[in-house]
Copies of this chain bind each other. A is one copy, B any other.
Amino acid sequence: MTDPRPIGVFDSGVGGLTVLREILRRTPDESTIYLGDNARAPYGVRPDEEVRAFSTQSIDALVERDVKAVVVACNTSTAIALGDLRRRYDLPILGVIRPGATSAALATRNRRVGVIGTPATIRSHAYFSAIKDENPAVEVYEHATPTFVPMVEAGLLSGLEVEASVREALAPLLGERDASGEFVFPLPPSAKVDTLLLGCTHYPLLRAAIGSVAGEGIAIVDSAAATASALAELLSINDIEAPRADPGGTDGPAVAAAATGGANHVQLTTGDVDAFRAIAGRMFGEAFPDVASIELEATVSGA
């Protein structure tokens, strides 16, 4: 069986668009509805009850639009509300934390993983717990990088200045710096992290800069890519993939290239549509043109 209904992607703001981008790349036949609760972002500063209520309202809105699965592309909502959401709704719900954590636990060779994220995500220790669940032998070093989200939303994604900021932010995690600004590693290589997990949906846009600062010996694991991969596998396992837009009737790589023919994509925001378009444009260029407004219930829907 196939299922042409769209996939719902929910985030408090625009960061989840990196997850959406990976979903479009991996499963180009799938339609999507993105919901950014920009009017109430960021969630990281809000009490748990509010995060749960806002997440429920957002997913109610996606369920009303007949989505077949939901990706919670928001680290705060995943950390706080995912269990509740799965109990409440009778459809598959993915978070962004477990797929990234699993990938990092698999990618490390020396069993030392660094995790970077917003202060709220790092304080929640959600990645720490998820990596330990996957492999208790992995040592996890968490580090908040509060300057990255403002940098990304301002469109500062590459260049020497960005690299300098990234180097500054990662120094406590990756090593000491000497007078010339180069990293100095007093520890033997086996004592350094060999894998760095990007625990914030904005960070894949800084991937090049982060990779350049971290150097070749460190694998960069990206929650957005890992989540899109887990979604593709879930659609396949549950046999709810969209029908293939397959002009040639073959099953080969041409399919991926030919796709998005039958797929529809819309981005909804609770905030200002022009502001959403402006930020998304600075981050992704022209990738997400179809933005519309949505209003969510001010009160929580009945449990």
Cα separation A239 to B83 with both chains bound (whole Å): 9
Residues of B close to A109: CB separation below 8 A: 216, 219
Q: Are A229 and B134 in contact (CB under 8 A)?
A: yes
Docked complex: A152-190 residues within 8 A CB-CB of B: none
Flag A261-273 by CB within 8 Å of B: 1 or 0 each: 0000000000000
Cα separation A102 to B227 with both chains bound (whole Å): 12
Residues of B close to A221: CB separation below 8 A: 106
Given A106-B106, A106-B221, A106-B226, answer yes or no on A237-B239 (Cβ-Cβ < 8 Å).
no
Cα separation A234 to B109 with both chains bound (whole Å): 25
Docked complex: A98-130 residues within 8 A CB-CB of B: 98-99, 102-103, 106-107, 109
Please name the residue on chain B nearest to A105 by beta carbon. B229
Please name the residue on chain B nearest to A218 by beta carbon. B109
Kindly state whether residue A136 has any CB partner on chain B within 8 Å: yes
Residues of B close to A102: CB separation below 8 A: 229, 233
Kindly state whether residue A150 has any CB partner on chain B within 8 Å: no
- A99, A103, A233 pick with most chain B CB within 10 angstroms: A233
Contact of A239 among B87, B134, B216 (CB under 8 A): B87
Tally of this chain's copies = 2
Cα separation A221 to B94 with both chains bound (whole Å): 24
Q: SS class of chain A's interface: helix, strand, loop or mixed?
A: helix
Kindly state whether residue A301 has any CB partner on chain B within 8 Å: no
Q: A7 → chain B, closest Cβ, in Å?
A: 13
Q: Are B107 and A237 in contact (CB under 8 A)?
A: no
Kindly state whether residue A230 has any CB partner on chain B within 8 Å: yes
Chosen A-B contacts, 29 in total, with CB atoms closer than 8 Å, are: A1-B87, A86-B236, A86-B237, A86-B239, A87-B239, A92-B237, A92-B238, A93-B237, A93-B239, A94-B237, A98-B233, A98-B236, A99-B233, A102-B229, A102-B233, A103-B106, A106-B106, A106-B107, A106-B221, A106-B226, A107-B107, A109-B216, A109-B219, A134-B229, A136-B253, A230-B233, A234-B234, A234-B237, A238-B238
Q: Which 10 A-B pairs have the closest CB atoms?
A: A86-B239, A103-B106, A92-B237, A107-B107, A109-B219, A92-B238, A106-B107, A94-B237, A106-B106, A102-B229
